[in-house]
A and B are shown apart, each in its own frame.
Chain A
Amino acid sequence: MSRSFSSIGRAGAALLLLVAALWMGAAVGETSIPLEVVARTVANRLWGAGYPLDPIDEGIVWNYRLSRAVVAACCGAALALSGAVLQALLRNPLADPYILGISAGASTGAVGVAILGLGSGLLTLPAGAFLGAVLAFALVSLLAAKAGRGRSAIILAGVAGSQLFNALTSFIVTKAANAEQARGIMFWLLGNLSGIRWPDVSLALPAAVLGLGVCLWHARALDAFTFGADSAASLGIPVRRTYVVLVGASAMMTAAMVSIVGSIGFVGLVIPHAARMLVGVRHGVLLPAAALIGAVFMIVADVLSRILIAGQVLPIGVITALIGAPAFAFLLGQRRAQA
């Protein structure tokens, strides 16, 4: 009884935190908009509350900032989930979609569809990104299997895979895109939330929610990987199926986010570790915690990218790396101290 109450309490607190972050994300920016105007805008748009508001403020909040904050939240949650799942499945604390080349593969796939017109109109941009992501992970896994059993093999293979797919992306862009396209794509590749509108939410939100659902469904299976795949198998987990479903979910989430905002590093790597320090290693709690922290972190990172340099928007990948790299160094130190 107390157990279920505390979990309901925690879920409520988490939801409140997320709402607060979204609220702040919509209020803060180059022109600061009061929190109550944000609240009234939401009330007007969702329930037709009819508050009299400055249409410019209302437009900024609804059309630009709120959709952007929601996509940022989805993106942070999805990347953090992908990282947590990959770290558990591969039993490697360095695993994350960016380092393993999944993001780079998704970029190549998206660029292939957008510029080369691969799939001759049958493939949408996100579908192309998904194919690229899956292809990249398959290639990296194959390379790692050839390189041997060591723990670092998959990471080294991922580094090689990232380089390869980034090179392919650059090649495609240089060869086939015009100057304006090329500039836009390079900006997008660094991670960019500038062009986000509500239609993007209709891809980001289902991808993040579906991903969270699939991962949570397998929370106990992920726990069972604590002592490795053979141990999971002897605990009754169908290892191959679990692996395919969860890697597929990670690739799907990563691809959806890459196709909307470009590839963003460090979120998938650092956030799961932070979540583990806060709530422990059980995936039933760890996964929602990582998703929440990732979501809030991304909203904050996006706000920082807009206000850090007046009149300029930094690529969000720059912010996540500036925060993520030192945070990662700190976590590595902690791990070492406790080992």
Chain B
Amino acid sequence: MMLSARHVSWSAGAVPILREVSVDVRRGEFLGVIGPNGSGKTSLMALLAGIRSPKTGEILLDGVPIARLSRREVARRLAFVEQQAETTERITARQAVELGRTPYLGALSPWSAADDAIVDAALENVGMRHLADRGWHALSGGERQRLHIARALAQEPEILLLDEPTNHLDIAHQLGLLDLVRRQGLTVVAALHDLNHAAMFCDRIAILEKGRLIALGTPREVLTVERIREVFRVDVAIDHHGAGECSIRYHAPGKAGAATRLKVV
């Protein structure tokens, strides 16, 4: 129970986005958060990262309310990769990763050789060391996302929070990135769009619908034909392989079955 949301609610102005969500993240697990657009995934990630405060309820980091910890303390234990963080500054790939050392640096603890080594290792880890001196603007979307992961790793966190990390990447980069994240052996919470990715990579999946947590469990437990139809409004067939794995086949809307159900909706 290292990171927990306790009955958190959040609204954007008068519009409620999250209602009474409670979830405990277990040490070492890969927890996926899925849900349709507007279900509150991004808001939940921002609350878990402590960069927004819930209207009601609280976020606990190792049992301590995150609001009571300093930003710096949080950043040493928990790294957050936003959806599409961009810049117009002319920084290099390496400089973007060096930002990850920010929570450890201060007037009395300047940049050291140890920091260089950690940054090198993070670049190596994501396979970007050969592009370290390349300018940010000359990098592809996949390379930039890898650098954001490397920046997060340079924070040496226990927990990695990712908000739709594979947006705008081609399929090979999507799978490569999620595999890279899983290989770190960290506790991971990731908002994901693709149900198959969630099924492939997650130990557990949380499903959000209209700001409420409606299911939490292993992929096999929570990804059912009925629930996917209710929440995502698509018809699917689910194939089970072996012990816990499953994969999802989508039926195009308008084909057999879908049309009649859409009328009901």
- Which residues on the A side are within 8 Å of B73 (C-beta)? 236
**B65 in the interface, Cβ–Cβ < 8 Å?**
no
Inter-chain CA distance A91–B88, complex, in Å, is: 8
**A227 in the interface, Cβ–Cβ < 8 Å?**
yes
Inter-chain CA distance A230–B70, complex, in Å, is: 15
Q: Which residue of A lies closest to B85 (CB)?
A: A227
B71 contacts which of A238, A276, A280, A339 (Cβ < 8 Å)?
A: A238
Among the stretches A155-163, A216-224, A249-257, the one at the interface with B is A216-224
B87 to chain A, nearest CB (A): 5
Contacting pair A223 B88 (CB below 8 A): no
**B1 in the interface, Cβ–Cβ < 8 Å?**
no
Contacting pair A234 B88 (CB below 8 A): no
With known contacts A226-B89, A338-B137, A339-B137, A234–B99 Cβ distance under 8 A: no
Contacting pair A223 B46 (CB below 8 A): no
- Which residues on the A side are within 8 Å of B40 (C-beta)? none
With known contacts A220-B105, A238-B70, A238-B71, A230–B88 Cβ distance under 8 A: no
**B188 in the interface, Cβ–Cβ < 8 Å?**
no
Inter-chain CA distance A239–B51, complex, in Å, is: 9
> Which residues of chain B from 134 to 160 have a CB within 8 Å of any chain A CB?
137, 155
A200 to chain B, nearest CB (A): 31
With known contacts A91-B88, A233-B51, A281-B90, A224–B99 Cβ distance under 8 A: yes
> Which residues of chain A from 195 to 237 have a CB within 8 Å of any chain B CB?
217, 220-221, 223-224, 226-228, 230-231, 233-237
Contacting pair B80 A234 (CB below 8 A): yes
Contacting pair B51 A236 (CB below 8 A): no
Inter-chain CA distance A124–B75, complex, in Å, is: 43
Inter-chain CA distance A33–B177, complex, in Å, is: 68
With known contacts A217-B107, A220-B105, A235–B89 Cβ distance under 8 A: no
**B96 in the interface, Cβ–Cβ < 8 Å?**
yes
**A117 in the interface, Cβ–Cβ < 8 Å?**
no
B113 to chain A, nearest CB (A): 10
User: Could you tell me how many residues of chain A have their Cβ less than 8 Å away from some Cβ of chain B?
Assistant: 25
- Which residues on the B side are within 8 Å of A91 (C-beta)? 87-88
A283 to chain B, nearest CB (A): 11
With known contacts A226-B87, A230-B82, A236–B96 Cβ distance under 8 A: no
Contacting pair A236 B90 (CB below 8 A): no
Q: Chain B, 39-66, contact with A by CB distance < 8 Å: what is the 0/1 string?
A: 0000000100111000000000000000
A230 contacts which of B46, B75, B102 (Cβ < 8 Å)?
A: B46
Contacting pair B71 A223 (CB below 8 A): no
Contacting pair B82 A234 (CB below 8 A): yes
Contacting pair A228 B90 (CB below 8 A): no
A338 contacts which of B49, B51, B76, B90 (Cβ < 8 Å)?
A: B90
A10 to chain B, nearest CB (A): 16
Contacting pair B91 A281 (CB below 8 A): yes
Contacting pair B75 A282 (CB below 8 A): no
Contacting pair A281 B75 (CB below 8 A): no
B95 contacts which of A220, A231, A239, A281 (Cβ < 8 Å)?
A: A281
User: Could you tell me how many residues of chain B have their Cβ less than 8 Å away from some Cβ of chain A?
Assistant: 32
Q: Which residue of A lies closest to B78 (CB)?
A: A234
- Which residues on the A side are within 8 Å of B46 (C-beta)? 230
- Which residues on the B side are within 8 Å of A236 (C-beta)? 70-76, 102-103
- Which residues on the B side are within 8 Å of A282 (C-beta)? 95
Q: Chain B, 82-114, contact with A by CB distance < 8 Å: what is the 0/1 string?
A: 100111111100011001101101110000000
- Which residues on the B side are within 8 Å of A233 (C-beta)? 50-51, 71
Contacting pair A234 B75 (CB below 8 A): yes
**B191 in the interface, Cβ–Cβ < 8 Å?**
no
**A93 in the interface, Cβ–Cβ < 8 Å?**
yes
Q: Which residue of B lies closest to A217 (CB)?
A: B107
**B202 in the interface, Cβ–Cβ < 8 Å?**
no
**B8 in the interface, Cβ–Cβ < 8 Å?**
no
B95 to chain A, nearest CB (A): 7
**B79 in the interface, Cβ–Cβ < 8 Å?**
yes
- Which residues on the A side are within 8 Å of B95 (C-beta)? 281-282
Inter-chain CA distance A213–B50, complex, in Å, is: 30
Given contact pairs A228-B87, A231-B85, a sample of 18 additional A-B residue pairs in the complex whose CB atoms are under 8 Å apart? A93-B88, A220-B106, A223-B99, A224-B99, A226-B87, A226-B89, A228-B85, A230-B46, A231-B82, A233-B50, A235-B100, A235-B155, A236-B73, A236-B102, A236-B103, A237-B71, A238-B70, A239-B71
**Which residues of A does B touch, CB under 8 Å?**
91, 93, 217, 220-221, 223-224, 226-228, 230-231, 233-239, 276, 280-282, 338-339
CB<8 Å pairs between A and B, sample of 23: A217-B107, A223-B99, A226-B89, A226-B91, A227-B86, A228-B85, A233-B50, A233-B71, A234-B51, A234-B79, A234-B80, A234-B82, A235-B75, A235-B103, A236-B70, A236-B72, A238-B71, A239-B71, A276-B90, A280-B90, A281-B91, A282-B95, A339-B88
